């Protein structure tokens, strides 16, 4: 924790901060259906976790391209190299969600240190965060590429703690994916869930509930600020 007992806020990037619906036109053009975006994204996450569980690794961008080719094969569509290039270009130019700047501003002004942790590999400038105009909020940007394991492997959250000279209990992971907050909480972090569209809490008794959750990042930020404004806030809620 910082001296005033506030945790380091660790943000997931894709879909949590950056809006993946920016990719929809590509899926409409190729598949005639924007909902295939969600199918692709789900497979991308499943196979990233499969690789980690199997002791394998490939950069997230290669998995993203390979998953698109797999989905195209499933739909009997002849994917072009230009389609892969458009996917890469759209991924690197996703805008921030409308609630991101207000929420990050609130947290920054309240004295929280903000960092990011993404499954994506490190990118050359302009990075996706720079393109979205929000890079200045973060003191550090971490990639699982340094660990060669995808979230929610505990090593990913432990890596951030080590780099920040902290422990996992000093971190609060903010994401819109329950699998991410569950993994972070299992590693000893706080968990804050944004229930954006297509994301929700899974009502299974053995899964840890997020310490904070709300439909928007602004509401989640307000909950976090309110909790740590209490001088005795030292343990999990």
The DSSP output letter for 110 is T
Cα dihedral sign for 145, 177, 170, 206?
negative
**Cα–Cα distance between 220 and 115 in angstroms, integer?**
16
Last residue of a domain, one of 32, 65, 91: 91
Last residue of a domain, one of 70, 91, 112: 91
Task: Say yes or no: 56 and 76 in one domain.
Answer: yes
Instruction: Give the mean pLDDT of the chain.
Output: 95
Phi, psi of 10 (to 5 degrees): -110, 115
**Domain coverage including residue 29:** 20-91
Which CATH number is 54's domain given? Answer: 1.10.150.240
**pLDDT for res 145:** 95
Task: Say yes or no: 112 and 197 in one domain.
Answer: yes
At residue 231 the predicted structure's pLDDT band, cuts being 50, 70 and 90, is low
How do residues 69-108 score in pLDDT, each as one tens digit? Answer: 999 999 999 999 999 999 999 999 999 999 999 999 999 9
How many C-beta atoms surround the C-beta of residue 203 within 10 A?
7
At residue 233 the predicted structure's pLDDT band, cuts being 50, 70 and 90, is low
- Read off the pTM: 0.95
Split into its structural domains, the chain has a count of 2
Question: Across the strands, what pairs with 212?
Answer: 192
Which CATH number is 146's domain given? Answer: 3.40.50.1000
CB 181 within 8 A of CB 210: yes
Last residue of a domain, one of 91, 111, 139: 91
């Amino acid at each position: 924790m910082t001296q005033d007992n506030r945790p380091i806020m660790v943000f997931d990037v894709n879909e949590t901060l950056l809006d993946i619906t920016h990719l929809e036109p590509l899926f409409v053009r190729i598949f005639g259906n924007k909902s295939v975006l969600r199918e692709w994204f789900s497979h991308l996450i499943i196979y990233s976790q499969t690789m980690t569980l199997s002791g394998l690794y490939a950069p997230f961008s290669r998995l993203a391209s390979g998953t698109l080719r797999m989905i195209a094969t499933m739909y009997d569509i002849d994917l072009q190299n230009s389609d892969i290039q458009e996917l890469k270009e759209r991924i690197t130019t996703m805008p921030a969600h409308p609630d991101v700047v207000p929420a990050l501003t609130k947290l920054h002004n309240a004295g929280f240190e903000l960092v990011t942790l993404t499954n994506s590999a490190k990118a050359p400038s302009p990075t996706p965060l720079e393109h979205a105009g929000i890079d200045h909020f973060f003191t550090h940007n971490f990639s699982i590429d340094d660990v060669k394991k995808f979230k929610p492997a505990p090593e990913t959250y432990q890596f951030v703690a080590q780099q920040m000279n902290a422990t996992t209990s000093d971190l609060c992971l903010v994401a819109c994916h329950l699998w991410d907050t569950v993994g972070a909480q299992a590693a000893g972090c706080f968990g804050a869930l944004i229930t954006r569209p297509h994301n929700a809490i899974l009502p299974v008794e053995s899964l840890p509930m997020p310490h904070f959750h709300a439909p928007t990042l602004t509401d989640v930020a307000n909950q976090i600020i309110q909790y740590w404004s209490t001088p005795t806030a030292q343990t999990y809620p």
